Protein backbone atom coordinates (compact mmCIF):
# COMPACT_ATOMS: atom_id res chain seq x y z
CA UNK A 1 0.00 0.00 0.00
CA UNK A 2 1.43 3.36 -0.94
CA UNK A 3 0.39 6.85 0.01
CA UNK A 4 0.53 9.04 3.02
CA UNK A 5 -1.29 8.93 6.30
CA UNK A 6 -2.76 12.33 7.08
CA UNK A 7 -3.11 14.12 10.39
CA UNK A 8 -4.91 17.30 11.33
CA UNK A 9 -7.43 17.03 8.52
CA UNK A 10 -9.96 19.87 8.55
CA UNK A 11 -12.90 19.03 10.76
CA UNK A 12 -15.85 18.52 10.46
CA UNK A 13 -15.41 15.95 7.70
CA UNK A 14 -17.47 16.03 4.51
CA UNK A 15 -20.47 13.68 4.65
CA UNK A 16 -19.69 12.98 8.34
CA UNK A 17 -17.30 10.21 7.24
CA UNK A 18 -13.67 9.64 8.12
CA UNK A 19 -11.35 10.69 5.26
CA UNK A 20 -9.71 7.71 3.54
CA UNK A 21 -6.15 8.61 4.58
CA UNK A 22 -6.82 9.92 8.09
CA UNK A 23 -4.37 8.47 10.55
CA UNK A 24 -5.04 7.61 14.17
CA UNK A 25 -2.88 6.37 17.01
CA UNK A 26 -4.32 2.90 17.57
CA UNK A 27 -3.56 0.28 20.18
CA UNK A 28 -2.19 -2.84 18.52
CA UNK A 29 -4.70 -4.99 20.41
CA UNK A 30 -7.52 -3.18 18.57
CA UNK A 31 -5.76 -3.30 15.22
CA UNK A 32 -5.18 -7.05 15.53
CA UNK A 33 -8.77 -7.55 16.77
CA UNK A 34 -7.61 -9.06 20.06
CA UNK A 35 -9.73 -6.42 21.76
CA UNK A 36 -12.56 -4.18 20.53
CA UNK A 37 -12.29 -0.41 20.41
CA UNK A 38 -13.71 0.85 23.69
CA UNK A 39 -12.19 4.34 23.68
CA UNK A 40 -12.01 6.84 20.81
CA UNK A 41 -10.48 10.24 21.52
CA UNK A 42 -10.55 13.29 19.23
CA UNK A 43 -8.08 15.40 21.19
CA UNK A 44 -7.62 19.13 21.45
CA UNK A 45 -4.94 18.98 18.71
CA UNK A 46 -7.38 17.38 16.24
CA UNK A 47 -5.60 14.02 16.55
CA UNK A 48 -7.50 10.74 16.80
CA UNK A 49 -6.65 7.95 19.25
CA UNK A 50 -8.29 4.55 19.53
CA UNK A 51 -7.78 2.23 22.47
CA UNK A 52 -9.07 -0.98 23.96
CA UNK A 53 -9.81 0.59 27.33
CA UNK A 54 -8.20 -2.27 29.25
CA UNK A 55 -4.47 -2.42 28.43
CA UNK A 56 -1.87 0.30 28.95
CA UNK A 57 -1.43 2.29 25.72
CA UNK A 58 1.80 3.80 27.04
CA UNK A 59 3.81 0.58 27.02
CA UNK A 60 6.54 0.30 24.38
CA UNK A 61 5.11 -0.71 20.98
CA UNK A 62 1.55 -0.73 22.35
CA UNK A 63 0.33 1.74 19.72
CA UNK A 64 0.82 2.28 16.02
CA UNK A 65 -0.26 4.88 13.47
CA UNK A 66 -2.98 3.38 11.30
CA UNK A 67 -5.81 4.45 9.03
CA UNK A 68 -8.94 4.97 11.07
CA UNK A 69 -11.03 3.90 8.08
CA UNK A 70 -9.72 0.33 8.54
CA UNK A 71 -11.19 0.29 12.03
CA UNK A 72 -14.40 1.92 10.83
CA UNK A 73 -14.82 -0.77 8.16
CA UNK A 74 -14.49 -3.50 10.80
CA UNK A 75 -16.69 -1.75 13.36
CA UNK A 76 -19.52 0.46 12.07
CA UNK A 77 -19.91 1.95 15.55
CA UNK A 78 -16.43 3.46 15.16
CA UNK A 79 -17.49 4.89 11.79
CA UNK A 80 -20.35 6.62 13.60
CA UNK A 81 -17.80 8.64 15.58
CA UNK A 82 -16.60 10.64 12.56
CA UNK A 83 -18.62 13.54 13.98
CA UNK A 84 -17.00 13.33 17.45
CA UNK A 85 -16.14 16.95 18.27
CA UNK A 86 -12.56 18.09 18.87
CA UNK A 87 -11.72 17.78 22.56
CA UNK A 88 -14.15 14.91 23.20
CA UNK A 89 -13.89 11.18 23.84
CA UNK A 90 -16.28 8.29 23.35
CA UNK A 91 -16.33 5.31 25.67
CA UNK A 92 -18.20 2.00 25.69
CA UNK A 93 -17.95 -1.13 27.81
CA UNK A 94 -18.27 -3.51 24.87
CA UNK A 95 -19.12 -3.49 21.16
CA UNK A 96 -22.79 -4.18 21.89
CA UNK A 97 -23.10 -1.10 24.13
CA UNK A 98 -23.68 2.50 22.98
CA UNK A 99 -20.94 5.12 23.09
CA UNK A 100 -20.88 7.66 25.90
CA UNK A 101 -19.40 10.96 24.72
CA UNK A 102 -17.79 13.32 27.22
CA UNK A 103 -15.32 16.20 27.07
CA UNK A 104 -11.80 14.76 27.01
CA UNK A 105 -9.10 15.68 29.48
CA UNK A 106 -5.68 14.09 29.76
CA UNK A 107 -4.97 12.82 33.27
CA UNK A 108 -2.69 15.05 35.32
CA UNK A 109 0.91 13.84 35.57
CA UNK A 110 0.57 13.57 39.33
CA UNK A 111 -2.65 11.55 39.10
CA UNK A 112 -1.71 8.16 40.57
CA UNK A 113 -4.55 5.65 41.04
pLDDT per residue rounded down to tens, the chain (113 residues): 446 888 878 999 999 999 999 999 999 999 999 999 999 999 999 999 999 999 999 999 999 999 999 999 999 999 999 999 999 999 999 999 999 999 998 887 654 44
Task: Please give the angle made by the CA atoms of 70, 52 and 22, to the nearest 5 degrees.
Answer: 30
- How many Cβ atoms from other residues are within 10 Å of residue 29's Cβ? 19
Please tell me the predicted confidence (pLDDT) of residue 112: 47
CB-based burial of residue 20 (10 Å sphere; 0-12 exposed, 13-18 middle, 19+ buried)? exposed
Amino acid sequence: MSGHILRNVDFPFPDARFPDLLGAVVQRTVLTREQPARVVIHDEHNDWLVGDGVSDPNLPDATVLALITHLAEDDPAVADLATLPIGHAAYRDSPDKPWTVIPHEWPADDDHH
